[in-house]
């Protein structure tokens, strides 16, 4: 085994021992949808997905209850509307 092979086996980025965060980033369910899409279709397909928020993990369906938009023209519109409900700040850890 050469030195190059040994280096390839090591992770490129060392992960810390921090507390795990429950839920998925909002970008994950947003990337699985096709745009434009109705809010009801988002709830049907991704509503049970748990999203990371500064207030702790919440289902996407519960977040969408506070969004007035019923038809998302684009992924960016969806993300902006949900982020307006979530707010910004550090994500709560377990």
Average pLDDT over residues 7-12: 64
> Is pLDDT above 80 for 14?
no
| pLDDT tens, position by position, 65-91 | 999 999 999 999 999 999 999 988 887
| pLDDT tens, position by position, 31-55 | 999 999 999 999 999 999 999 999 8
Residue 48: half-sphere exposure toward Cβ, Cα within 13 Å? 2
Select the more confidently predicted residue: 9 or 41. 41
**Structure tokens of 90?**
């550090």
Give the per-residue pLDDT at 21: 77
Burial of 68 (0-12, 13-18, 19+ CB in 10 A): exposed
């Amino acid at each position: 085994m050469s030195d190059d092979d040994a280096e390839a086996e090591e992770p490129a980025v060392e992960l810390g021992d921090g507390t795990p965060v429950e839920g998925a980033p909002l970008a994950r369910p947003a990337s699985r949808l096709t745009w434009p899409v109705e809010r009801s279709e988002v709830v049907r397909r991704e509503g049970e997905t748990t999203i990371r928020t500064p207030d702790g993990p919440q289902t996407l369906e519960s977040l969408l209850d506070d969004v007035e938009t019923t038809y998302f023209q684009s992924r960016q519109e969806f993300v902006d509307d949900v982020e307006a409900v979530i707010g910004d700040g550090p994500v709560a850890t377990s």
